[in-house]
Amino acid sequence: MRAVAVIGVGKTPFGAFPCRDLRSLAVEAGENCLRNGHVSPERVESFYLGNFAGPSFTGQNHLAPYVSMALGIPGVPSTRVEDACASGGSAFFHAWTEVAAGVHDVVMVVGAEKMTSQPTPPVSEILGGAGDCAGEMRAGNTFASLFAMIARRHMHDYGTRREHLAAVAVKNHANGALNPGAHMRKVITLEQALNGKPVADPLTVYDCSLISDGAAAVILVPLDRVAEFTDKPARVLGIAQASDYVALDRKESITTFPAVRRAAAQAYRMASVQANAIQFAEVHDCFTIAEIIATEDLGFVKPGEGGPYAAAGCTARAGARPINASGGLKSKGHPVGATGVAQVCDLVLQIRGEAGDWQVPRHALGLAQNLGGSGATAVVSILGAA
Amino acid sequence: MRTGIVYTETVIYSAPEAFTKDAPYQSAIVSLDGGGRVTGRILGERVAIDDRVAEAEERDGVPYFRKALP
C-alpha cells in the first residue's frame, strides 16, 4: 500500500445561501481546492462526490459528473458516495483507497449539500431517510429524537447532566465565532444553552447542529509525488471506515457507537499511534451528546467520562486536547455531504498552521471522526505533518 | 400483546412533517419481555427509563404502549 497525502484543500463558507444551487457550491469549493493544491483540472484522474440527499433536496440526480464536468475535469471516473451524514468521510476513504492501491495518482473529493431550500419539517423528513424508515422513523422519530434517546440513556447509565451537554454547545459556539467560514458565529452562554427551545427532551435547539448549505474539497496524491504540488502536505497516517445496524433499537448498547470504536482501532493501528497521542480532533457533533460519546469511543476518555471531560474545559481550543476548534457541526454548520470532507480540510489547515484565529497550539497530529445516521457508518482519519 | 420495560425515551416537540399535528408526543425504545427491542409510541401517562409498559395497539406497523403496573 502506498503512503498518501492531502496536497490541496478548499471550502465555501457554510450558511444559508438562498441564491446558490448545489452545483455552484460544489464548484466553488472544488476551484478553491485546485488553486490551493496548484493542480490544473486536467491532472485530476478520478473524482468522488460526497452527497447525502441532493436528489431529495434539489431534484437533481447523477451529481458526480454534473460537478466534475463543471469543474473542467474531463472524462474521468466520477462517483457519488452516499452514507448519510458520513457521505463526505466515506468519499474521502474511497478516494484514499484508490491512491493507496495505486489505481490513480491524483484524486479529488468534493463534499456538498444544499439543504436550506425547504422549511425544517420536510428537511427533518429527508434526513430521517438515514434511519430505519420501516421502524423508528415510522413511529415519528427524527434524528434529534434518536439522539435525545441516546442522551437519556447516557444520562441514566453514567450520570451525564444537561450542563455537560450545554458545555459542548457553549464551547463549539465560542470556537465557531472565530471561524470566518462558520454558519453561526455567535457566542452563547451556559444559561442560554440550558434554556433553549425544546426539540426532543432532553435536547434543545442549542444541542442540535445546523441545517446548512456548503461544500468542501480535498486532493489526494501519493506521498512520493507531493513535491510537484506543495511544500506543505499533510499525510494520511491512518484511516478506516466501519458499519453497524441502521436501526437504533437493533444495537446492544446505544451509549457507544461500535462502528466508531472499530474504525478508530484500525486507524490507530495503521498510524501506529494511541489515542493519547492525538493532539486535536474534529468530531461529529451532530448533537452535543454525539461529541461526548465520540470522545469516549475514540479513547480520549473512558465510557461515561465524556460529559465531565467537556465541562472541565479539556476540549476547549486552549485545552489539553482541542475538539472542534472549527466550531464543529454545531456552529460551523452541517451541510451533510460536505461535513466529512470539511473536517479533513480543517485538519490540514491546522497541521499547516493556517487556521488563523481558530488555530490550535499543538497541531502536528489530528483526527477526524465522521458519523452516519445514529452510528451505522463511521469514518476515522488520522492526519499529520508529512 | 407485548410487554416490556422502557430502555430509553424522549418527548418530541419538533416533529417531521407527517407528525407535526401530533406534537408533542413520546417515543420510546422498549426492551421486550420476550427478548429484543422495538421502537414505538407511548399513549397516556409519560414514562421513564425502567418503567413497565404494555402494548395497547398497533397502527401502521408501529406499536403503541401504555404504562403498566410494575
The full set of domains in chain B, from first to last, is 3-67 (2.40.50)
CA angle A111–A11–A233, rounded 5-degree value = 95
Q: Is A111:A49 a contact under the CB 8 Å cutoff?
A: yes
Q: Is A268 helix (H, G, I), strand (E, B) or coil?
A: helix
Nine-digit cell string for A191: 444559561
Give the closest-approach CA distance of B42 to chain A in angstroms: 10
A134 to B61: CB separation less than 8 angstroms, yes or no: yes
Pick the CATH number of A4-118+212-234 from 1.20.1560.10, 3.40.1010.10, 3.20.20.120, 3.40.47.10: 3.40.47.10
Rounded (10°) CA dihedral A90, A260, A122, A10: -40
Q: Which residues are bridge partners to A200 per DSSP?
A: A203, B12
Hey, are the CB atoms on B39 and A134 less than 8 Å from each other? no
Residue B3 cell numbers, joined: 410487554
Residue A166 CB-density burial (10 A; 0-12 exposed, 13-18 middle, 19+ buried): buried
The reported pLDDT for the residue numbered B70 is 81
Asked if residue A173 lies in contact with residue A228, where contact means CB atoms within 8 angstroms, the answer is no
Whole-number pLDDT of residue A175 = 98
pLDDT at residue B69, as a whole number:
87
C-alpha to C-alpha distance for A10 and A227, rounded to whole angstroms: 19
Residue in B18, B19, B49 nearest the CB of A153: B49
Beta-carbon separation of A153 and B11 below 8 A: no
Domain with CATH 3.40.47.10 in chain A: 4-118+212-234, 131-207+238-385
In this predicted structure, what is the pLDDT of residue A125?
Answer: 87
Q: Are A207 and A199 in contact (CB under 8 A)?
A: yes
Residue of chain A whose Cα is closest to the Cα of B28: A149
User: Do residues B9 and A152 lie in contact, with contact meaning Cβ atoms separated by under 8 Å?
Assistant: yes
Chain A interface, best mutation among B10, B26, B47, by max A CB count within 10 A: B10
Mean pLDDT score, A133-151: 96
Contact A130, A141 (CB under 8 A): no
The DSSP code for A64 is: H
Q: What is the pLDDT of residues A303-341, one digit of tens each?
A: 999 999 999 999 999 999 999 999 999 999 999 999 999
Assigned CATH for A131-207+238-385: 3.40.47.10
Nearest to A138 among B25, B37, B61 (CB): B61
Q: How far is the alpha carbon of A43 from chain B, nearest alpha carbon, in Å? A: 45
Active-site choice (A94, A164, A173, A334): A334
Q: How far off is chain A from B45, nearest CA to CA, in Å?
A: 16
Q: What is the DSSP letter of A160?
A: -
- Contact list in B for residue A204 (CB cut-off 8 A) is none
The pLDDT of residue A138 = 96
CB atoms within 10 A of CB A351: 25
A85 is catalytic: yes
